[in-house]
Amino acid sequence: MTRIALVSGGGRGLGAAITGRLLADGWTVSLGLRDLGQAAAFDTPGRVMAMPFDADDPDTAPRWVEATAARFGRIDALVNNAGILRMVDFGQGTEDDLDAMWSVNVKAPFRLIRAALPHLRATGQGRVVNIASTDAKRYRAGVSVGYTMTKHALLALTQATRAAGWDDGVRACAICPGAIDTDLIAGIPGATPKADRLRPDTVADIVAFVLSLPNQASVPELIANTRPESLI
């Protein structure tokens, strides 16, 4: 039976790497995108669906979930990949910057999980993967305080999802990678040097591994460091 995964922001960067890996593993992938044209990059007729998804439009979350379930008859996994980073600390950044990160990094995953949970429960082995960050595990000087706050919240949301779905076979994992070589951190002062960053394909492999595990081998969080840190 073909497994069905939803991937937010799955048309570029890390999301595209995750989508490509899941397709290679035999999944059918439903993409939640702002730009539906990004779906054309995947040459897998009948195995890629694209739906409008925008964190600023709350109604797009349940519409995407229900359209996917209606087309394929089931939902086996949700990968909350979409995220943004804006520099907000005690001396810089705006309220709008902070609100934008909360909307994309926290509220959008919450809405998707809430909409998808009934379908994930129905399979008896539903999966939720939230792409967090090492910033979900600690605060490091020079990193956006606002971004760190949202990733800590996403980790809490992962724990809540595990509690809510456990008895029905739903397993949730927060993947906490260090710097990934994507546009998200391009130009940010103090970012991990490019040569030392994780490749998107490496993180996609981690996602695929977590999704492959049985209910009896649940991983609540998985950290992939790019630099030695005493706190994580």
The pTM (predicted TM-score) of the whole model is 0.95
Q: Could you tell me which CATH number the domain at 4-224 has?
A: 3.40.50.720
What percent of the chain is modeled with pLDDT above 70? 97
In the structure encoding, which two tokens stand for residue 126, read together? 């539903």
Q: Which residues are catalytic?
A: 147
Residue with tokens 């710097």: 179
Greatest mean pLDDT among 34-43, 165-174, 187-196, 222-231: 165-174
Tell me the torsion sign for CA atoms 204, 210, 213, 214. negative
Annotated domain spans of the chain:
4-224
- pLDDT tens readout for residues 60-80: 999 999 999 999 999 999 999
Distance CA 221, CA 172 (A): 8
Say how far apart CA 116 and CA 118 lie, in whole Å. 6
What does residue 83 show for φ and ψ, rounded to 5 degrees? Answer: -165, 155
DSSP reduced 3-state for 10: coil
- What pLDDT digit, counting tens, does each position of 164-193 carry? 999 999 999 999 999 888 777 766 666 777
**Using one digit for the tens of pLDDT, what is the confidence trace for 117-171?**
999 999 999 999 999 999 999 999 999 999 999 999 999 999 999 999 999 999 9
